[in-house]
Amino acid sequence: MTRFRIAIDGPSGSGKSTVARKVAQRLGYLYIDTGAMYRAVGLKVTREQLPWDQPDAVIEAASRARIELRAGPHGLRVILDGADVSEAIRTEAVGQAASRVSSIPGVRRILVRAQQDLGRRGGVVMEGRDIGTKVFPEAELKIFLDASEPTRARRRFAQNRDKTGALDLEGILEEIRQRDRRDRERADSPLVQARDSLYLDTSNQTVDEVVEKILKMVQVVEGKSGSG
């Protein structure tokens, strides 16, 4: 049976991670969270206090970073230079740092190549911003997940580990707007919907409803490719 590449793109808080993880579980596919890779680089640059205004220093850090994604019993673990940073990368500050490093083309080149290697053999659900447009433009199935701004802010608020920080829902909403603007307006691989992707608004749908819709699409694609 053909093992497909499933690309799931969308803005932050659209439900990508939860949905992608579940779809991968149901299919027995590998789940790859590419945002975690940008977050790991963002964390490294922050920890090493590298100058943000010098892209070469950031690119050099990205090329030195050893990033591993390990499937564990409690979900995906993210290992940076040998240390587990799964929790440390989930703060809003690291999210902003990730968004900044991700606008540097040299950083994207390094991470995109690593992502293409991870998905080369198929059997992956990969989520991010540019998977259907750049990493795997030839993916067998492309989904673009979206949700209203208030919904996305609420989800992000629930996910953040730094709840004790100053950010309330309003603050998160503002950060989401900023980050989305940067992700959509950057010159290299901005967040755009691939023309051949399926658009799903998840604002009023449960995770399971979205997962079922995607699994049905997988069956349709399997039928078309004659491998079902």
CB atoms within 10 A of CB 150: 13
Of 67, 4, 7, 16, nearest to 210 by C-alpha is: 16
Contact criterion met (CB below 8 Å) for 124 and 118: yes
From residue 5 to residue 44, the character string flagging contacts with ligand DC as x (rule: CB under 6 A) and all else as - is -------x---------------------xx--xx-----
Contact positions with ligand DC (CB under 6 A) in 133-192: 179, 183
Residue 56, SS3 per DSSP:
helix
Do residues 20 and 131 touch, judged by C-beta distance below 8 A?
A: no
Residue 116 CA, distance from chain mean position:
14
Query: Which of these segments, 48-56, 127-135, 137-145, 216-224, binds ligand DC (CB under 6 A)?
Result: 127-135
Tokens 């967040």, located at residue? 191
Instruction: Mark the segment that binds ligand DC (CB under 6 A) among 61-69, 91-99, 157-165, 211-219.
Output: 91-99
Identified binder of ligand DC from the candidate list 22, 44, 129, 152, rule CB under 6 A: 129
The residue from 44, 65, 95, 155 that contacts ligand DC (CB under 6 A) is 95
For the beta carbon of residue 192, count every other beta carbon within 10 angstroms: 16
Of 97 and 218, the one with the shorter C-beta distance to ligand DC is 97
Kindly list the residues in this chain that would bind ligand DC in the complex (CB under 6 A).
12, 34-35, 38-39, 95, 98-99, 102, 128-130, 179, 183
